[in-house]
Amino acid sequence: MTRNYSALTLFKEGLNGQMGWQKAWRSPAIKPRYDIVIIGGGGHGLATGYYLAKHHNIRNVAIIEKGWLGGGNTGRNTTVIRSNYFFPESAALYEMSLGMYETLGRELNYNIMLSQRGLLSLAHSEAEMEMSARIVNAMQINGTDADLLDKAAVREILPILNFSEGARYPVFGGVWQGRAGTARHDAVAWGYARAADRLGVDIIQTCDVEEFIIEDGRCRGVRTSRGDVRTDRVGMAVAGHSSHMAQRAGFRLPITSYALQACVSEPVKPVLDNVVLSPGTGTYASQSDKGEMVIGGGLDRVPSYGQRGNLPVLEHVISGLLEMFPSFRQLRLMRQWAGIVDVTPDSSPIIGESPLSNLFIDCGWGTGGFKGIPAGGLLFAHLLATGKHHDISRPFDLSRFARGRLIDEAAGSGIAH
Ligand code: FAD
């Protein structure tokens, strides 16, 4: 049984060597049967478990994770949340998610360290300014907050940017989304885990789902490293592993896997109080609460399952960073890492039933699924509980690739994820 702690307990534990804490969620033995099994204990799997219990009162649920919670991409991302998308389908999805993030800390009673510090997406030429105006128009029509900034307005927000005339990527202006920002990635996973556990969902860690139990052409359960589990429905949220798992279930997904890398600098005093992104240089950065510069870039376009950083990408990303912020050249890097992301042909996620009956998929979030965790979880839970799409998830069904109804955000918003 987990409990709430008071400020006094926190103080006492600080004095007595932190010996009295209880675990935030249970480590139950795996049962031979559940109503629903979710594969993957990242943000999406955990949120799905929570909403199944909370919204649909389905509590006989297992979330099976082969490693530790959030040890996949949820704990490896750069924590940016935003909803600056182009198409109405994406706007509805990511606006729903951003809105849920705004109240998530209170809902889960867990500090997710939400910081709506604003996101600035730079334009480095007249042509990029025109693109920016088009995106701002689309965002505003879709009901998303967005402003088009000229150079002077950008300088007011971020005076330490490189405004010199001789800059390789001169600043012309940019798109501003004030409600965008960051949230602590581990806290989102842990908050959902604790809340799901309290509603009775079993979280089974260090348990690998090795095969699907398929009978009469239907998925009837999963074969795990801790034995077989039978169930009515299986939900799969295994970013980076979706193609492998689909192969085990006997079908192929329109997904290519890439390593996405990020790095952090040593901590310094506060100098950057928003998220800044330069599509031109392919680099984005924000400053963490600890003071580190959290730096990311585009995909390493060589498809790979190598979950580690490499020098060519680092060099490219850092040269973009220094182009934007010449004063950062004295910073030292502390760490570089990577996660494997699954990218679809239209750079939008897949939420829907798979070709194998009773097996449902939530995948293909590519480089941008952290921001989609609350909505992804809620919509996937709806699908698993009812067998039917929520209106917002329907356009993201796998069938869109057969129907040709793509939601091509890489083309629409210039965001390759
Ligand atoms: P994951 O968190 O990867 O969870 C999937 C889980 O499934 C893993 O824990 C894995 O161990 C488990 N699993 C796999 N196979 C099995 C199996 N057979 N049995 C049991 N368990 C299994 N998104 C943003 O919105 N903003 C960002 O700023 C951002 N930055 C990023 C930066 C980097 C470097 C990376 C790598 C990603 C970034 N993303 C970002 C993307 C985001 O992190 C992912 O889209 C999101 O975390 C996906 O969540 P998930 O729960 O689907 O997957």
Return the axis-axis angle of helices 373-386 and 185-198, rounded to nearest 10°.
30
Mutate to test the pocket of ligand 1, among 74, 192, 274, 348 (most ligand atoms within 8 A of CB): 74
Which residue's CA lies nearest to atom 53 of ligand 1? Answer: 239
Q: What is the pLDDT of residue 417?
A: 44
* Percent with pLDDT over 70 in the chain: 98
Q: Give the integer Cα–Cα distance in Å for 78 and 235.
A: 26
> Quick check: CB of 260 below 6 Å from ligand 1?
yes
- Each residue's pLDDT tens digit, 41-57: 999 999 999 999 999 99
- Each residue's pLDDT tens digit, 136-178: 999 999 999 999 999 999 999 999 999 998 899 999 999 999 9
Q: Give the integer Cα–Cα distance in Å for 277 and 294.
A: 12
Q: Do the bridges between strand 119-123 and strand 275-278 make them parallel or antiparallel, or are there none, so unpaired?
A: parallel
- Each residue's pLDDT tens digit, 318-327: 999 999 999 9
Q: Give the integer Cα–Cα distance in Å for 353 and 393.
A: 11
Q: Give the integer Cα–Cα distance in Å for 61 and 130.
A: 49
- For residue 42, how far is its CA from the centre of ligand 1 (angstroms)? 6
Q: What is the pLDDT of residue 306?
A: 87
- The set of residues, in sequence order, having a beta carbon less than 8 Å from that of 82 and lying 6+ positions away, is 94, 98, 119, 177, 180, 181, 275, 371
- Each residue's pLDDT tens digit, 79-126: 999 999 999 999 999 999 999 999 999 999 999 999 999 999 999 999
Q: What is the mean pLDDT of residues 29-40?
A: 98
28-83+85-110+185-254+346-413 and 119-179+257-343 agree in CATH topology: no
What does residue 170 show for φ and ψ, rounded to 5 degrees? Answer: -65, 150
> Quick check: CB of 417 below 6 Å from ligand 1?
no
Residues pairing with 228 in the sheet: 223
**Atom nearest to 261 CA in ligand 1:** 34
> Quick check: CB of 49 below 6 Å from ligand 1?
no
**Atom nearest to 46 CA in ligand 1:** 51
- For residue 74, how far is its CA from the centre of ligand 1 (angstroms)? 4
* Percent with pLDDT over 90 in the chain: 88
24 neighbors 69 (Cβ within 8 angstroms): no
Q: What is the pLDDT of residue 359?
A: 98
- For residue 12, how far is its CA from the centre of ligand 1 (angstroms)? 36
> Quick check: CB of 208 below 6 Å from ligand 1?
yes
How is domain 119-179+257-343 classified at the architecture level of CATH? 2-Layer Sandwich (3.30)
Which residue's CA lies nearest to atom 18 of ligand 1? Answer: 209
- For residue 305, how far is its CA from the centre of ligand 1 (angstroms)? 13
> Quick check: CB of 235 below 6 Å from ligand 1?
no
Ranges of each domain in the chain? 28-83+85-110+185-254+346-413, 119-179+257-343
- For residue 292, how far is its CA from the centre of ligand 1 (angstroms)? 22
- For residue 46, how far is its CA from the centre of ligand 1 (angstroms)? 12
Give domain 28-83+85-110+185-254+346-413's CATH superfamily.
Answer: FAD/NAD(P)-binding domain (3.50.50.60)
Q: What is the pLDDT of residue 19?
A: 82
147 neighbors 156 (Cβ within 8 angstroms): no
SS3 label, residue 221? strand
317 neighbors 297 (Cβ within 8 angstroms): yes
- For residue 185, how far is its CA from the centre of ligand 1 (angstroms)? 11
The 3-state secondary structure of 289-319 reads CCCCEEEEEEEECCCCCCCCCCHHHHHHHHH
Q: What is the pLDDT of residue 414?
A: 63
**Atom nearest to 284 CA in ligand 1:** 28
Q: What is the total residue count of the chain?
A: 417
pLDDT band for position 1 (cuts 50, 70, 90): very low
The rounded Cα 159 to chain-centroid distance in angstroms is 30
Which residue's CA lies nearest to atom 45 of ligand 1? Answer: 369
214 neighbors 250 (Cβ within 8 angstroms): yes
> Quick check: CB of 224 below 6 Å from ligand 1?
no
Mean pLDDT of the chain: 95
- In the chain the first and final C-alpha atoms are separated, in Å, by 40
Q: Give the integer Cα–Cα distance in Å for 363 and 237.
A: 6
Which residue's CA lies nearest to atom 32 of ligand 1? Answer: 77
> Quick check: CB of 367 below 6 Å from ligand 1?
yes
Q: Give the integer Cα–Cα distance in Å for 172 and 122.
A: 8
Block residue for tokens 């095969």? 211
Q: What is the mean pLDDT of residues 356-368?
A: 97
Helix ranges (H only) for 310-408 are: 311-324, 373-386, 400-403
The rounded Cα 331 to chain-centroid distance in angstroms is 27
What tokens were used for 417? Answer: 């994820």
Block residue for tokens 């004295």? 330
- For residue 322, how far is its CA from the centre of ligand 1 (angstroms)? 28
The 3-state DSSP composition of the chain as helix, strand, coil percent (nearest 5) reads 35, 25, 40
Q: Taking CA 219 as the corner, what is the angle to CA 205 and CA 70, rounded to the nearest 5 degrees?
A: 25
Amino acid in position 217: G
**Atom nearest to 372 CA in ligand 1:** 25
**Would you list the DSSP string of 124-140?**
-SHHHHHHHHHHHHHHH
The count of other CB atoms within 10 Å of the CB of residue 86 is 22
